[in-house]
């Protein structure tokens, strides 16, 4: 076939003018030279005048052409890495090009920004500066944000103060408030996901702010967040039984702080027990009284996950904790909790109880 005629390009423009959603994927099969021809024949204002939702797979094949879709009125942007780069860093020859695209992402109308995926463990650290600069350009339209890319203190502080941000997920610690003043108030988030080694530091920050003596108009920095938060996920950044220091422990100091979010319907603490110094150690340090206190404070829970199973049977929770859970958490439909079975059976079993009520 020859090159498209002017009439052909008019038809292309007619169809692209009403497109609302696009996926720029590494496995997208087009004829050779298709995207360069599209770029060469681009009408004034671009092809995708109504595009609102873009998913972009970061790949060598998509990098030269993704800016065709990065228009200023995008409302939802999902970015994820090539499957070829899983469990590895971005190749050096494309790293600067990726950073350049990230630093110029359109943000003026952006409502949702989602980066990465759970099954990808690509190293994002090299994009900290470029992505932080993009976050600093995000405005009050942003309502949803999730990213594994570490951010600068200024970028995290900016996110905290966006007035309509309702759902966010972030890895890394909170801002260093010895250098930056803490926010006067956290917005009323509905969902919060804390990942990586900084998760515990976020919980400690909540504890400090809860007891902050500076109260404005009868409100503490966490007053709105305490009332609004419905979903809290804490994700450990390690796999089960990997070597190294334990990064997160489910103990009473950790859960006592979480109890302030009394309207939680979903509490998911994704923590694995791991090897420490060559010996398997259980990260679950709550006893029956601690679990009772958690149940009394979080009566709205419909789903509760307190860490993942391990091969130890050393935890202090027993069947006695089920009674207060059933009394106080009347909406609970799913429970996963470490459980000591040594007093129930004489053989070694998994110290975990999973209950699902349909």
Low-confidence stretches of the chain (pLDDT < 70) are 1-2, 27-33, 85-90, 117-122, 177-184, 212-218, 237-247, 275-280, 311, 343-358
334-338 long-range contacts (CB < 8 A, ≥24 apart) are 334/302, 334/303, 334/304, 334/305, 335/303, 335/304, 336/304, 336/305, 336/306, 336/308, 337/291, 337/304, 337/306, 337/307, 338/282, 338/284, 338/286, 338/306, 338/307, 338/309, 338/310
pLDDT of residue 176: 78
Number of helices and strands in the chain (H, E): 10, 14
pLDDT for the residue 213? 55
pLDDT of res. 241? 42
For residue 6, give the H/E element and its range.
helix 6-16
Whether the Cβ atoms of residue 181 and residue 175 lie closer than 8 Å to each other: no
Q: Is 287 exposed, middle or buried (0-12, 13-18, 19+ CB in 10 A)?
A: middle
Identify the H or E element spanning 335.
strand 334-338
What number of other Cβ atoms are within 10 A of residue 261's Cβ? 23
| Strand 53-58 to 112-115 pairing | unpaired
| CB 180, CB 153: distance < 8 Å | yes
CB atoms within 10 A of CB 27: 10
Q: pLDDT by residue (tens digit) across 115-140?
A: 976 445 567 778 899 999 999 999 99
Element (H, E) at 113: strand 112-115
pLDDT of residue 358: 43
């Amino acid at each position: 076939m020859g090159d498209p005629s002017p009439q052909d390009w008019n038809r292309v423009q007619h169809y692209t003018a009403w497109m609302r959603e696009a996926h720029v994927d590494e496995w997208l099969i087009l004829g050779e030279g298709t995207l360069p021809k599209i770029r060469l024949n681009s009408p004034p204002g671009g092809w995708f005048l109504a595009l609102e939702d873009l998913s972009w797979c970061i790949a060598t094949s998509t990098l030269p052409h993704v800016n065709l879709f990065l228009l200023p009125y995008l409302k939802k942007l999902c970015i994820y890495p090539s499957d070829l780069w899983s469990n590895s860093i971005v190749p050096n020859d494309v790293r600067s090009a990726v950073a350049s695209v990230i630093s110029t992402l359109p943000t003026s109308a952006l409502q949702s920004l989602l980066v990465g995926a759970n099954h990808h463990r690509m190293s994002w650290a090299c994009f900290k500066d470029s992505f932080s600069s993009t976050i600093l350009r995000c405005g009050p339209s942003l309502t949803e944000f999730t990213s594994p890319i570490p951010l600068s203190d200024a970028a995290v502080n900016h996110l905290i103060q966006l007035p309509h941000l309702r759902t966010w997920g972030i890895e890394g610690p909170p801002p260093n408030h010895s250098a930056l003043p803490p926010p006067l108030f956290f917005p009323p988030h509905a969902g919060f996901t804390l990942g990586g080694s900084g998760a515990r530091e976020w919980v400690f920050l909540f504890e400090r702010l809860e007891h902050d003596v500076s109260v404005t108009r009868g409100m503490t920095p966490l007053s709105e967040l305490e009332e609004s938060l419905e979903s809290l996920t804490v994700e450990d950044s390690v796999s089960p039984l990997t070597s190294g220091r334990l990064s997160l422990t489910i103990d009473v100091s950790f859960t006592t702080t979480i109890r302030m979010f009394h309207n939680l319907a979903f509490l998911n603490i994704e923590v694995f027990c791991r090897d420490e110094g060559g010996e398997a150690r259980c990260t679950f340090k709550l006893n029956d009284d601690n679990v009772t206190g958690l149940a009394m404070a979080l009566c709205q829970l419909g789903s509760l996950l307190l860490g993942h199973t391990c091969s130890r049977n050393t935890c202090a929770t027993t069947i006695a904790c089920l009674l207060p859970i059933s009394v106080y958490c009347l909406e609970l439909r799913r429970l996963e909790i470490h459980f000591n079975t040594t007093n129930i059976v004489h053989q070694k079993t998994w110290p975990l109880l999973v209950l699902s009520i349909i």
